[in-house]
Copies of this chain bind each other. A is one copy, B any other.
Amino acid sequence: MENFELIGNIEQAQNFLETIKSGKSLFAFVISYTETCEIPGITFAGADKNSIQFTPPADAEYLHYGYCKTIDKIPMTPDGKPTPGLLTKIALESSSIPHLTINAGSKISPQLPFIETGLPFGKNISIEDAMTDSEVSQAVDFGRILGRSLASLTDCLVIGESIPGGTTTALAVLRALGFDAKVSSSIPENPIELKNQIVESALKRIDSDHPYSIVAKVGDPMIPFVAGMLSSASGVSKVMLAGGTQMAAVLAFASKIGFNEENTIIGTTSYITNDENANFKELVQKIANIPIISVDPNLKNSRHSGLRAFSEGFAKEGVGAGGCIISSMLKTGNDSEKFLKMVEEEYRRVFT
């Protein structure tokens, strides 16, 4: 496709695109929570501090119903920029790709049928451990169980996430595992100083190089759960990790517990791979020998400033948007112009 960029192992990436095109895809949307997001200034994934906890279930409800049940409006920034879930929704609907919501530590349950894991939400890593070692172990085990089941139902399992504050925990896990990560954010004036402070204080608590202990101390429930999914699912079907920095942290942890690289890819937006403040492409290549497929959703050409904002650094990725757009364009043959038109229609529907 004209607006895909293939990075890394090109042959494996092309092979992967062929599978999506000819086979069945299933989008697994993992919602979670870390209290780290409650630190003022760390995220804009929600209109205000109290509403942030509703963002993951509201994203799930919006994907499903086209409106939310736990809150009045769809998730947006204080000044009205919409959730990247808007891109995901149009991608899935236009291609009839089915999806399931998985609760892996969200504080609030969505009001629709969803897969429950019973995992607790993550604590604020700036002041305490995110989880216990045994909770990490449980997250990996349950991820493995579910990954195997879902992968057996499809040819390509696309996994996305919604965890406000998740780039900060991802940064901490990546650094603790030895990767010099710079991190993307849902805010263009990325609060790098604040994130670095939080990560530094969290890293001080680390007293073991065991990966379970590291994730327990400075991670969040999404990371071990999705890594568990990847580890079993990649033995059965293709797996696309749909996201940016968070999925790099998943990949880093998964490389410690084992997964099948040949069946794995990262799918994301060009807003992540072209981010000058981050080093996403180099980071992924250092972690594992898997390709990245990046799509330009063409939002810079939108007549709506709320959509152009994505291309200017707001909410560059999330809710598996990039991976879902890639899967959708391959299935439907739609180009980015057609996709933008549908997204703009949905934007107007939601905001009028």
Query: Are B113's CB and A145's CB within 8 A?
Result: yes
Query: Are A149's CB and B116's CB within 8 A?
Result: no
Q: How many residues of A contact B (CB 8 A)?
A: 25
Question: A80 contacts which chain B residues (CB < 8 A)?
Answer: none
Q: Please, how many angstroms separate the alpha-carbon atoms of A18 and B50 in the complex?
A: 54
Tell which of A98, A116, A142 has the most Cβ of chain B within 10 Å.
A116
Residues 85-142 of A at the B interface (beta carbon under 8 Å): 96, 98-100, 102-103, 109, 111-118, 142
Q: How far is the CB of A67 from chain B (nearest CB, A)?
A: 14
Q: Please, how many angstroms separate the alpha-carbon atoms of A278 and B113 in the complex?
A: 35
Question: A99 contacts which chain B residues (CB < 8 A)?
Answer: 149
Query: Are B98's CB and A113's CB within 8 A?
Result: no
Stoichiometry, copies per complex? 2
Question: A102 contacts which chain B residues (CB < 8 A)?
Answer: 113
Q: Which residues of A contact B (CB under 8 A)?
A: 24, 26, 64, 96, 98-100, 102-103, 109, 111-118, 142, 145-146, 149, 152-154
Q: Determine which of B96, B118, B146, B153 lies in contact with A153 in the assembled complex, contact meaning CB atoms within 8 Å.
A: B153
Q: How far is the CB of A140 from chain B (nearest CB, A)?
A: 12
Q: How far is the CB of A63 from chain B (nearest CB, A)?
A: 12
